[in-house]
Amino acid sequence: MRSFAAIIALLAASLSASAQTGPPPLSPQCEAPGADISTVAPLPHLARKLEKGGKVRILAIGSSSTYGIGATSHRKTYPAQLRGILEKSLQGAEALIVNRGVSGEVAQTTADRLRTEVALEKPDVVLWQLGTNDALARVPPQDFERTVISTLEWLKSANIDVVLVGLQYTPQFARDQNYFAIREALLRAAAAENVLYVRRYDAMQFIARNNPGKVELMTNDGLHLNDMGYQCMAEHIAHAVIANLFVRKKDLPKGEPGAAEPPKPAAPGK
């Protein structure tokens, strides 16, 4: 793409020293391998918008954690944190995040709302957090996959980048077949449509297993993300977004966090 050199020049100029080699560093407690954080997919419309220097509009939609359950204040919901990280990392960029999360919503309901929200809010990027509630509502995985794919195709035709944020990791569902079927369906949809997929389950599982008793990402009910969980989620999303703005610069550099391998199959249980 002819404008790509310009994007890189702009980003290189605007990023801090640490960010010049990629996305901003993660907080120690949120460290996870790049492959566990996200897949690799381009964000062409966001890149172009940043190049032009306009205000980036991000629509955060979906279920549960979009609203920010478990966070002690509204300011600390993940969209609020994400905005801070993005603006800091992409200096000079201005991000406006419209939060339209409804807890417990299934993907079909979000997909219906999404069309109107996109038409009214005109975002450059849609952050769609989904999957957990479809698994709980026993929505057939093939229906779920169809909903996701048709929505992704529409967003693509509308020139909007998408970041999918996957299911959360919960020990309760480590052996739930339906949970895995929905997760697989989401991975397939993301791969088929080549959109960025934040592997929330894998990252949370990695952190939980590598920091037993040390890091509390959940509130004491064991499920809701607490402030720290939101911070990690926001960091991981920001990391994935920024890393994927650089995807073409180095043609999938190895060993760089965020520049990850293609989706790996989910393994149920331990």
Partner 1 sequence: MRGPNEIDFWRGFALLTIFIDHVPGLFYENYTMRHFGLSDAAELFVFLAGWSMRLLMDNRKEPMPLPSAIMRLETRALTIFFAQLIITQMALALTAAGALWLENPLFLEWNNASAAFEAPIETQVGIVLLSHQMGFFDILPLYVVIIAGSPLCVISDRIWKWLPLVLSLALYAVILVTGVNLPTWPVEGRWYFNPFAWQLVFVLGYMLADARGPLSALRAHRTSLRWLGLLGVAAGVVLAVADYSPDPVLLPEPKLFFMFDKTFATPARILHLLALVALFNGAFAIVEERIRPVARFFSMLGRNSLHVFCIGSLFALGSQFGRFMLGGSILVDTMVLLMGIITMVVTAWIVEWRVRSRAS
Stretch 205-264 residues interacting with partner 1 (CB under 8 A): 221-224
CA separation for the pair 78, 66 (Å, rounded): 7
Interaction between residue 102 and partner 1 (CB under 8 A): yes
Interaction between residue 76 and partner 1 (CB under 8 A): no
Interaction between residue 171 and partner 1 (CB under 8 A): no
Interaction between residue 106 and partner 1 (CB under 8 A): yes
Total residues binding partner 1 (CB under 8 A)? 42
- Establish how many alpha carbons lie within 13 A of residue 70's alpha carbon, considering only the half-sphere containing its beta carbon: 21
Interaction between residue 193 and partner 1 (CB under 8 A): no
Considering only residues 16, 18, 116, 210, which one is a binding residue for partner 1 as defined by CB under 8 A?
116
Interaction between residue 149 and partner 1 (CB under 8 A): no
Considering only residues 140, 142, 153, 262, which one is a binding residue for partner 1 as defined by CB under 8 A?
140
CA separation for the pair 131, 95 (Å, rounded): 26
Considering only residues 2, 17, 119, 213, which one is a binding residue for partner 1 as defined by CB under 8 A?
119
Give the per-residue contact string, 46-75, with partner 1 (x = CB under 8 A; - = no): -----------------xx--x-xx---x-
Interaction between residue 157 and partner 1 (CB under 8 A): yes
Considering only residues 44, 76, 88, 137, which one is a binding residue for partner 1 as defined by CB under 8 A?
137
Interaction between residue 109 and partner 1 (CB under 8 A): yes
Per the listing, tokens 């297993």 go with: 209
Q: Contact at 8 Å (CB) between 183 and 131?
A: yes
Residues that bind partner 1 in the complex, under the rule CB under 8 A: 63-64, 67, 69-70, 74, 99-106, 108-109, 112-113, 115-116, 118-120, 132-133, 136-140, 143, 150, 154, 157-159, 170, 172, 221-224
